[in-house]
Amino acid sequence: MSIVLLGIESSCDDTSASILKDGVILSNCVANQEVHKLYGGVVPEVASRAHQVNIIPVVDQAIKKAGIQKSDITAVAFTRGPGLIGSLIVGVSFAKSFAMSLGIPIIEVNHMQAHVLAHFAEDPKPKFPFLCLTVSGGHTQIIKVKDHLTMEVLGETIDDAAGEAFDKTGKLLGLDYPAGPLIDKFAKEGKAVFDFPEPKIPELNFSFSGLKTSILYFLKKNIKEDPDFIKKNLNDICASVQDRIVSILITKLKRAAKETGIKEVAIAGGVSANSALRSTLTQTGEELDWNTYIPRFEFCTDNAAMIAVTGYYKYMMGEFAEQDVSPTARYSFSLRSKSDEG
Ligand code: KG4
Ligand code: ZN
């Protein structure tokens, strides 16, 4: 019998549903919430309400696109956390009631683990063990991936995430939220002529809050001399900030590869859509003889295909959740299920 999984993702501001049949993705549908642009960031209550509006149409669309019937689905995998609690509640409640109505099991998924397993959505897949730099709006981690469900966090941010560094810089520059893709776009037309300091953070950890402060003072000082400074230099500012964020990430990734001796290196999460990070990783890989892995854009930002893929590996291990499972806003790797230990 085929294993047909419905994956549900609702941890932040994207509502997504995906159908995976015997490990192959048949559909991956995402409803974005443009409304947050008005506020310069995700408003949790607004996100939760939009998920309620979007979830049924997105699931219907995913089933239709996959060309299957609802009755073909054998299990439902959903994001349990980490994320915004009001957003998670919508996806978790939907997944539980949908599964209950069909009499099929449910599988809970850690969103960050799923970003890593997005690499298993299609070929080429990294070989174990591999290093994964997971960079999103909420997290920045270097993870040693021992097998599909056994992962160890080697280092992480002590303050802001890399995505926040992009988004907060964007706010200072007057750009729409999320600013990451816009900074990426403007940087292509500019040069990294402004120098922002590299933080000195021990071991494999990261810090981005100092960078934000130095950008703030840099802008204040220059705007005082020329009120049109941002307008005149937007592309170069974006290129300079992006250059520094990428160099912070790649420096730590090089160190992790050296310390572990691992040459299989992957990136994941929304910020891995960044073109400078992608090209720098490829270039570094060529220099240091790494095999590098970069997901397609569709699998970098939040999506339900990665939830379904993670659910598939848990299904094979017989790791099902009970109906009383609840969402958890903070879901660290220390809260892992039994196969994650060790
Ligand atoms: O993984 P994701 O979709 O959601 C979270 O789990 O946070 O990541 C969203 C983050 C945002 O901070 C967004 O600005 C950033 O990813 N991002 C980018 C790019 N595309 C998305 N940052 C830099 N360059 C991009 N091209
Ligand atoms: Zn994410």
pLDDT of residue 333: 64
237 CA distance to ligand 2 middle (Å): 26
Ligand 1 atom with the smallest distance to the CA of 164 is: 12
Angle separating helix axes 180-187 and 162-172, nearest 10 degrees: 70
Whether residue 241 is found in the same domain as residue 155? yes
Q: What mean pLDDT comes out for the span 63-73?
A: 98
Q: What mean pLDDT comes out for the span 48-77?
A: 97
Whether residue 289 is found in the same domain as residue 267? yes
Q: What is the mean pLDDT of the chain?
A: 94
Query: Per-residue confidence at 332, pLDDT binned at 50, 70, 90?
Result: confident
Whether residue 330 is found in the same domain as residue 308? yes
Has residue 19 got a pLDDT over 60?
yes
Give nearest CA residue, ligand 1 atom 16. Answer: 270
Ligand 1 site, residue 295, Cβ cutoff 6 A: no
Least confident of 151-160, 292-301, 327-336: 327-336
Whether residue 203 is found in the same domain as residue 333? no
Query: Per-residue confidence at 34, pLDDT binned at 50, 70, 90?
Result: confident
Whether residue 184 is found in the same domain as residue 277? yes
Domain membership of residue 198 as a residue range = 126-295
Whether residue 194 is found in the same domain as residue 81? no
Whether residue 42 is found in the same domain as residue 133? no
208 CA distance to ligand 2 middle (Å): 18
Whether residue 154 is found in the same domain as residue 25? no
Give nearest CA residue, ligand 1 atom 8. Answer: 270
Q: What mean pLDDT comes out for the span 330-342?
A: 52
Compare 113 and 38 and report the one with higher pLDDT: 113
pLDDT of residue 35: 80
CATH number where 335 lies: 3.30.420.40
Ligand 1 site, residue 82, Cβ cutoff 6 A: no
Ligand 1 site, residue 315, Cβ cutoff 6 A: no
- Sign of the Cα pseudo-torsion (170, 136, 263, 121, in order): negative
Whether residue 147 is found in the same domain as residue 93? no
Q: How far apart are the C-alpha atoms of 206 and 280, rounded to whole Å?
A: 18
Our count of domains for the chain comes to 2
Q: Are 307 and 57 in contact (CB under 8 A)?
A: no
Model pTM? 0.92
Has residue 257 got a pLDDT over 80?
yes
pLDDT of residue 336: 41
Whether residue 317 is found in the same domain as residue 171? no
**Ligand nearest, relative to CA of residue 33:** 1
Query: Per-residue confidence at 335, pLDDT binned at 50, 70, 90?
Result: very low
Has residue 209 got a pLDDT over 80?
yes
Whether residue 153 is found in the same domain as residue 64? no
Q: Which helix (H) or strand (E) holds 57?
A: helix 44-66
Angle separating helix axes 209-225 and 162-172, nearest 10 degrees: 20
Q: Which helix (H) or strand (E) holds 133?
A: strand 130-135
Whether residue 54 is found in the same domain as residue 70? yes
pLDDT of residue 248: 98
pLDDT in tens, 69-127: 999 999 999 999 999 999 999 999 999 999 999 999 999 999 999 999 999 999 999 99
Compare 32 and 174 and report the one with higher pLDDT: 174
Q: What mean pLDDT comes out for the span 181-188?
A: 98
Has residue 264 got a pLDDT over 60?
yes
Ligand 1 site, residue 181, Cβ cutoff 6 A: yes
Cis peptide before 202 (omega within 30 of 0): no
Amino acid identity for residue 67 in this structure: G
Has residue 341 got a pLDDT over 60?
no
Name the percent of the chain lying above pLDDT 70: 97
pLDDT of residue 340: 40
152 CA distance to ligand 1 middle (Å): 23
Q: Token match 């349990």: residue?
A: 80
